[in-house]
Structures are given as structure tokens and as C-alpha cells.
Structure 1
Amino acid sequence: MKKIIMTGGGSAGHVTPNLALVPKLRKMGYEIEYIGTRDGIERKIIEGEKIRYHIISSGKLRRYFDIKNFTDPFKVVKGILQAIFIMKKVKPNIVFSKGGFVSVPVVIAAHLSKIPVIAHESDITPGLANKLAAPYCTKVCVTFPESIKNIKGDKAVLTGTPIREELLKGDAAQGREICQFIDKKPVLLIIGGSLGSKYINDTVRGILDKILVRYNVVHICGKDNLDEKLSGKSGYKQFEYVSEELPHIMSSADIVISRAGANVIFELLTLKKPNLLIPLSKKSSRGDQILNAASFEKSGYSMVIQEEELNEEILADKLEELYRNKDRYISKMSSSPLKNGVDEIIRLIEKHSL
């Protein structure tokens, strides 16, 4: 039986693409184990999938000055040694890395143990972890055609992003039932990322009564972002986070407001959901979502509002424009050459496994 070690963490976006590969890997007979941190978001998600989970030390990688920048490299070195021990014990045929700071010691340990590594980069430009790990990788899967030039050597392979199989099996009627929508108004889904977005939440709620005249609204607003005053409001359903119900809720959506993380926008592309993207600004990110959104806007898959331009009036106007032109966006997404990356990534894993 072949064995694969997966890694990636720090946010749900560094974990869910791994999960998209799991069903097919299991069908092919792979034994799957995972390396992550003790307190990372990846631990709860992976252990929920009944995958054996190994804990290592890892320092956070920062682009800014912080006193911890002087101590965290020692945590990374400790993590490398721990990961080498795990490699010797598990003897995997290959390692698959989705990025995030925990992946760096794992990738380096795999390289030192002479185990091939396939990494995946979701965004147009590689994150700091994948930049540091790329020299130790066998191949780096990329999501956007523009990304190939950002990976040195001939390691980049355009695969798209892996989409979870269950996401493609949603039932729209069930999604409406989950949200307790009783009329046939179109459904607007709002996704603020795994942690939610207070700025988007507040702007949406500021014009909620106006929006509800035309739409039923599903609002995935993030941890601790529920507004109790709006609980029970007709046509409005809010969640902190959605897991098992997500495929049905996404299937029920007619249009979507979303951040521009690569995973979610490729899910929207696959599901052909007309969308309005509000990328994280450079004030609170490295600007990757801005590039992602620009690529989708240029291809005709998305409308975009920059966070600095967002206000209640602009949001209301853009929503109407999006719904009015939804068929045009669906047509563009239907003809997209970018596909679900599961099969191509599995092919690379098979090709390079020991």
C-alpha cells in the first residue's frame, strides 16, 4: 500500500484542497497521514476526517518586524527534526503540501529524507511559505496561468485548484429548506472568508432591508460575527460557519458576494455562480486577493469592488448590475478552460511517488 503525508495549515484555505484529494487517494489505496501544528485550524478539520495527525513545532513566517522573528527560526529547525523522525517512521512514498507556515519544515524534512514533494499554490503569486519551500519541491501545482512565471525553474504545472467532490452534489431545494426560505425570491449568498469580514458584514447589514425586498439572503459571517438582533428576520439566515450544509447552500445561491481567496473563487467558477468579489486590501494582506480578483474580472467570471471603494450605495448598485447580467457571467464561466484540479494533481502524485 502506498503512503502519502499531507501538510498545510494556518487557515482553512490551506486545508480544504487537501481534503478534495482524499476520497480519490483512498479509492486508489493510499494510506494518508497528516503533519500539522498542535493548535492550528488544520488539526480539528483533519482529525474530523479520521486521518492520523502528527504534531510538529513550527514558527510563523512574517514579512514584517517582530521580536519573534528571532526565536521562530529555532522552532522551524525543531519542526524539521520532528518531521524527519516522522518520515523515517511512516516511510511515505510522497508528500503533498498545501502551504502555510507549518509546511516549510515538512517539505525540507521530506527533501532531506529523499522523498518527493508535490506542492500546490492557490494564488497568482506564491505565499512566503511556498516561496521558501519551492526549492525543495519536485513540482509546484499552480491555479492561474499567470502563476507559472512566478515559480523558478521548470517546476510549475498548471493544474487548477482541487474542488471537493461533495461540493458538486448540492441540492438547491435542500439549501432553501436549511435557510427556511418560504418564498421564491432569488438567493444571495455572502461569504466573508473562514474568519468572516466585519467590513463586508456591516455594509451588507446597513442595506439589508433594501436587499431583502428582492432577495433571500444567506450570510456566512464568521466566528463571533452573528447579529442577534437580526435572528429570526424573514428572508435572512446567518451562520458563523457552514460545513456539511455548504454544498446545498451554495447550490441554492443565484448570486454571491465573496472575498477573493483562490479556493472560494474557483469553487464559484466550478459551480458557475455569478459573483461580486471584494478582495482583502493591501492594508491587511499581501495583495494576493486583489490579483486573484483582477484575473477573474479580466476573464469575465466576476465583478469586483475594491475594499477601499465599498459603501452601501455602491454595493446596492453593483448587486443589481450583477443580477441583471448574471446570464453573461454564467456563459463566461461555462466556457472557462480552468477545471477542477483533482485529477491532474493525482496524476502528478502517481507519477512522482517512490
Structure 2
Amino acid sequence: MTKIAFTGGGTVGHVSVNLSLIPTALEEDYEAFYIGSKKGIEREMIESQLPSIKYHSISSGKLRRYISWDNIKDVFKVLKGILDARRVLKKEKPDLLFSKGGFVSVPVVIAAKSLKIPTIIHESDLTPGLANKISLKFAKKIYTTFEDTLQYLPKDKADFVGATVREDLKTGDKKRGYQLTEFNDNKKVLLVMGGSLGSKKLNSIIRENLEALQASYQIIHLTGKGLIDEQYSNQKDYIQFDFVKDDLTDLLAITDTVISRAGSNAIYEFLALRIPMLLIPLGLEQSRGDQIDNAENFEAKGFGKTIPENDLTEQKLIAQLNNIEANRDVIINQMQTYKESFTRQDLFRKIIKDALS
């Protein structure tokens, strides 16, 4: 029986595709296991959402683009991670490795190469991350979500597959969404989400401008874990959730416009649902700029508008939302031109074919 090793971590985006592909592997009678860090978000996500999957933890360092003494210490962590990953791979004997990226994936990919295990990499963002740039030297193939990403990669190794959108995304129940929020269909619904950890700046500006926003919208505010503000609990046309998992599709079913970060997985889901979006990407002080690239790409394609977080003000927020509403039909028509490229089953079969050919 073919066995597949999965790796990737550090952020939700570096785990989400794996979370959709592992059940597909099991459905098609393949064996699967995961290699990640000891305390990273990937461990929490895999062990909570796929408890039957064997999880192996390894040492991992952080890859930095700036000069730091920690880089020296982390070299040794990465070297130990390679040894840890080799031990796991020699024990499990997988036929291939699928890597979603993130710093924990680098020692795993290097270890796989040393054991002649073929590796396939997936890059969700417009520009490749540092981990995937390093890993690509040891991998057989890299898949991209954005077609424009191909310009940054060697032609003989890169392949555009588009976004892999989860099948349940379009099964949201509007009736259930209205029940959860106690909203109605007489006024548009605005969904605000600042990522799993939330955005204090975005949360503040939404709350400070509730009256102006409530003139046009009923507002669902996903604040991030532990960031609900109880003093706003009884506001009309406004509801807070710190985190939503199973009910998110129902909330999306009643959403007309979304304010969001610009992680590739999330924005492609909004695109698939034809929901106009106002994107507030993470700034350079919090990331390598991948969300900025993603947001600018989507704005250029006419799928919504962007405000850099450092430029976020009440005036710009209201102005861009008004812009979206004035051009709603144009934006949705532009979204209609997008075709989802791959189902998770299609992507899984391609991984098997490319890795083992």
C-alpha cells in the first residue's frame, strides 16, 4: 500500500491544504502520517481535526531574512531536525512526501531527499516563501495557487494548479446563518475577520465606527480568540464570535461583503463564493509581505479593494466599502470569470502521478 508523508506548519495556511488532502488519501486507501514541530499550530490542528493520523514531532528552527544571533542557534536546530526527520522517514518508509511549506518543512524535505523519497511542494501565495525556495532545490515539483507565481520559479519544476477549494464551502445554510446571528434578509451582511489570532487595530476601528457601518450592514465580527468585547454584546445588527469552525459556511451563506486579511486560502474561498472583499493584509512588520502581494493581485483582477493596515482609517474604510457597493455588480461579474482549477481529489491524484512517475 502506498504511504504518504505530509509536512508543513507555522501558520494555518501551511496546514489547511494538508487537512483537505489527508482525508482524501485515506478515502482512496492510502496510508498517511504527519511530520511537524513539537509545539506549532500544525500539531494542534492535526491532532484536533485528524486525531487518527499519526503525528511525528521534530526539532525545527526559524528561517529569518534578517541578521540575528538566533540564526546561528537555529542552524543547529535545523540540523537536528534533519536527523529527527530521517529517523521518522526511515521508520515509516513513505513512498512520497507532500510539503505545504513553513520553516518546519525544510529539514523534512532535505531528509527525504537524502533517502531518495520524492517530494512535491505546494505554494499558496503569489510569491514563494523562503522555506519553499530552499526546499525546491531538493524537491521534484512545486504547485502554485496563483498562475503569476510561475514567473518566480524554474519552468521545469513548477506547475500551476489554481486554488483547491473545500467541497463543503458552498453547502452553507442561509436559514441556519440567520438563526445563528438573529439577522434577517432585509439588510446586507458584512463579515469581518482578522485571522485566527484577530487584529486589534481592525477590531477597534470596526467597533469605533459601528453606527456608520450599521447604516448599511448587519455585521458579523470574528474577533479572534479571546478578543470579544462584552460592552458591545447588545448592539443592534452586530454580533461577535471569537472563533467559528463548523458554522462558518452558514455565516458565509448570508454574507454580502467581507473585510478580511489576505491569506490565499481565505481569499480564494471568498472568490469561489463570489463575495466582494475589502482586504487588509498583514504589513511588513508582521510578515514577509505575502499578504500584500495577494491583496494587490486580487484588487488588480477586480475582485475587491485593498487598504494597507498602516493606512487603515475610518474615512478609508467607509470610502472603500462604499466603492465596493457602488461597483458590486461589476466585481461579481469579474469574479464569474474565475474557474476553480482543482478539486482536492484532482490535486491528490496529480500528486501521486507526478511524485511516482
Give the TM interval when normalised to the shorter protein.
over 0.9
Residue 131 of structure 1 aligns to which amino acid in structure 2? Answer: K
Q: How does 1:1-354 map to 2 (within 5 A)?
A: 1-48=1-48, 49-50=50-51, 51-182=53-184, 184-340=186-342, 342-354=344-356
Q: Is the partner of 2:137 in helix, strand or coil?
A: helix
Q: Gaps (5+ residues) in structure 1? A: none
Q: Is the partner of 1:222 in helix, strand or coil?
A: coil
Q: Conserved in 1, the CA contact under 8 Å of 2:145 and 2:163?
A: yes
Q: 1:97-150, CA deviations, whole angstroms, 9 ceiling, x for partnerless residues?
A: 111111111111111111111111111111111111111111101111111021
Aligned equivalents of 1:111 and 1:273: distance in 2? Answer: 42
Aligned equivalents of 1:341 and 1:129: distance in 2? Answer: 25
Q: Is the partner of 1:196 in helix, strand or coil?
A: coil
Q: Gaps (5+ residues) in structure 2? A: none
Percent of matched pairs sharing the same residue: 47
Aligned equivalents of 1:19 and 1:71: distance in 2? Answer: 31
Which range is displaced more, 250-259 or 19-28?
19-28
Q: Which contiguous aligned blocks of 4+ residues in structure 1 show a shift greater than 6 angstroms?
A: none
Q: Conserved in 2, the CA contact under 8 Å of 1:207 and 1:316?
A: no
Residue 26 of structure 2 aligns to which amino acid in structure 1? Answer: R
Aligned equivalents of 2:188 and 2:296: distance in 1? Answer: 27
- Give the length in aligned residue pairs: 354
TM-score (norm 2): 0.94
Q: Conserved in 1, the CA contact under 8 Å of 2:140 and 2:355?
A: no
Aligned equivalents of 2:347 and 2:110: distance in 1? Answer: 21
Residue 8 of structure 1 aligns to which amino acid in structure 2? Answer: G
Q: Is the partner of 2:101 in helix, strand or coil?
A: coil
Q: Conserved in 1, the CA contact under 8 Å of 2:280 and 2:308?
A: yes
Q: Conserved in 1, the CA contact under 8 Å of 2:219 and 2:238?
A: yes
Aligned equivalents of 2:112 and 2:167: distance in 1? Answer: 28
Q: Is the partner of 1:136 in helix, strand or coil?
A: coil
Residue 14 of structure 1 aligns to which amino acid in structure 2? Answer: H
Which range is displaced more, 215-224 or 18-27?
18-27
Q: Conserved in 2, the CA contact under 8 Å of 1:116 and 1:352?
A: no
Residue 182 of structure 2 aligns to which amino acid in structure 1? Answer: Q
Offset at 1:321? 2.1
Offset at 1:342? 2.6
Aligned equivalents of 1:114 and 1:86: distance in 2? Answer: 14
Q: Conserved in 2, the CA contact under 8 Å of 1:163 and 1:267?
A: yes
Offset at 1:164? 2.2
Aligned equivalents of 1:286 and 1:194: distance in 2? Answer: 18
CA spacing shift, 1:176–1:203, aligned 2, 3 Å: same
Q: 1:58-96, CA deviations, whole angstroms, 9 ceiling, x for partnerless residues?
A: 011111233221111111111111111111111112111
Offset at 1:217? 0.7
Offset at 1:183? 5.8
